[in-house]
Amino acid sequence: MDTVQRGERVGLGHAPGLRKLTPKMLETIEVAETHRFTSEMLPGQVLAAFKAAAPHLGLRPSVVHAIDWLFRFTNAVDWQPSSRPIVWPSAIMQQQELGLGPSQVKNLNRHLVELGLVVMKDSPNGKRYGRRDSKGRIIEAYGFDLSPLASRFTEFRAVAEEGREERARLQALKRRATIARNGIRQLLDTAVEQGISGEEWETHRVASAVASRGIAGRNRSIEMEMAVAGLEQALSDMRRYLEFVLDARRTKEAQESTELVNLGPKGLENCPHITTTNHLQNLKDTVFASKKSSHSPVLPGKDRPSKGLGNHLNSSKTAHEQQRPGKVRMDTGSLLKITPMELIKLAPRLKTYLNNQTPTWPEIVDAADWLRDEMGISKFIWGDACLVMGREQAAIAVAVVSAKPLDHFRSTPGGYFHGLISKAKIGELHLARTIWGMRGAGERHPKCDRDHLPPSPDPRSYV
């Protein structure tokens, strides 16, 4: 790079030591020779404009570092209209301070010229040197001419401003993409909670996933705008379809309720007739339960009332007493023939939410309410399960779901639990079989019994 023309061999071809000039280098030389400083320009302004525009011009960090290093040797007086910004650090200094070898430095300097950033001004002996007067002005200098950077000052500022605007557009588009993604996740969770599925919904789900993947790797606002528009369109389509399905479901439920109300406008045939009267009732003609029987324990299998009027009054009184505070069920079993202690052993995750080592069924129900929130089962689905199955069996169902591994579910534990409710509504849910299966799995894996699934308890402990 820093070579000297030795001997006059013009017309005899390329002489040894002469620098090869490429078309791009010739363009840079022409720009430097024609540039004239029309006003004072500070080197710090030029360098700042160049460094701000460099990332948007695709310049490597090594190029930016090399230009930044060259600006260490220039003064503000060199950028006045009557002067020229030339610096002359030696090749040895450049190699040492940039950490490059001789060939790497030559290639770097050639690259700077081809990029239109500097021009090499060679001395007759091929060395870089310069002299200044008493006021610091350059009298004679050979080395790197920084005039091309000064001529591109306006260009650098425009590129940097455009880069800032592009970055702002990309940030705004990324925020829109995040909002759209969050909206899609909410719709997917709602679909799981409401049990919405089918081919058409799956088409919308796949389309939203494809649109979301199209966001990654977009570095230009034009491409990003198209990708975000597709994602927002997928969100809009999913929302419209979900609203359509839910509206249709509500309309159907309203129609069914209207049909039930209008089932017997004149009164049902088998309903008892109620006659309003002002006469006092004869106590001898009215059947009441005795005080003794009201405090007697209810035997298993004999608490179902008969069709008599007296039993009807007794059952009404019992229901009224059950609504009083303090009347909490304290038994140790359920219709599924499982005790709270065995349920905890089959589903250990329940134990986290229990404060009592020997819990009752009401405490198991409360713990299941906490556990279902941990598994992502919504409050709405939990309430629906309590209405369909009863609170105890709903708690057992939550415990059964918690004992299954994550790879058992096709979607989420909430979706799986919603499927159990759907089976219970049509009478196809058999939790007893599932519990016996869990017991059998514990017997086949004795090592697991010691930690999680102990042997089935004594049948005499069932209610």
- The reply to whether 319 falls in a domain is no
- The rounded percent of the chain whose pLDDT value lies above 70 is 70
- The reply to whether 274 falls in a domain is no
Q: Which pLDDT belongs to residue 29?
A: 62
Question: What is the average pLDDT value for the chain, to the nearest integer?
Answer: 75
Beta bridge partner(s), residue 143: 121
Given 233, 256, 279, which residue is the final one in a domain?
256
Q: Which pLDDT belongs to residue 439?
A: 82
Given 119, 151, 183, which residue is the final one in a domain?
151
- Lookup result for tokens 């190699």: 95
31 and 134 both lie in a single domain: yes
Structural domain including 132 reads 23-151
The span from the CA of 212 to the CA of 191, in Å, is 19
More confident residue, 14 or 408: 408
Tokens of 178: 């995040």
Contact by Cβ (8 Å): 371, 397? no
Confidence band of 321 (pLDDT split at 50, 70, 90): very low
373 and 455 both lie in a single domain: yes
174 and 124 both lie in a single domain: no
User: What secondary structure does DSSP assign to 417-462, as a single string?
Assistant: HHHHHHHHHTT---HHHHHHHHHHHHHH-HHHHHHT-PPPPPGGG-
First and final C-alpha spacing in the chain = 98
Q: Which residues contact 135 (CB under 8 A, 6 or more apart)?
A: 77
- The reply to whether 169 falls in a domain is yes
- The reply to whether 423 falls in a domain is yes
Q: Which pLDDT belongs to residue 322?
A: 42
45 and 110 both lie in a single domain: yes
Beta bridge partner(s), residue 138: 132
105 and 205 both lie in a single domain: no
138 and 175 both lie in a single domain: no
182 and 133 both lie in a single domain: no
Tokens of 317: 């009184």
The span from the CA of 132 to the CA of 174, in Å, is 54
Q: Which pLDDT belongs to residue 443?
A: 55
147 and 170 both lie in a single domain: no
Q: Which pLDDT belongs to residue 336?
A: 67
Q: Which pLDDT belongs to residue 406?
A: 83
Reference 461, options 294, 345, 313, 309; nearest CA is 345
Examine the pLDDT at 425 and tell me if it is beyond 60. Answer: yes
142 and 177 both lie in a single domain: no
Average pLDDT over residues 84-88: 89
Contact by Cβ (8 Å): 359, 367? yes
pTM of the full structure: 0.44
- The reply to whether 141 falls in a domain is yes
- The reply to whether 364 falls in a domain is yes
249 and 350 both lie in a single domain: no
- The reply to whether 128 falls in a domain is yes
133 and 252 both lie in a single domain: no
Instruction: Give the H/E segment covering residue 268.
Output: none
Average pLDDT over residues 151-171: 90
More confident residue, 439 or 188: 188
CA distances from 458 to 191, 337, 347, 358, 359 (A): 43, 11, 18, 16, 18
Examine the pLDDT at 338 and tell me if it is beyond 60. Answer: yes
Average pLDDT over residues 418-440: 86
Instruction: Count up the domains in the chain and report the number.
Output: 3
The span from the CA of 304 to the CA of 393, in Å, is 20
- The reply to whether 251 falls in a domain is yes
Phi, psi of 215 (to 5 degrees): -80, -35
CATH number where 28 lies: 1.10.10
84 and 111 both lie in a single domain: yes
Given 230, 256, 282, which residue is the final one in a domain?
256
pLDDT tens, residue by residue, 182-241: 999 999 998 888 888 888 899 998 999 988 887 877 788 888 899 999 999 999 999 999
The span from the CA of 146 to the CA of 84, in Å, is 8
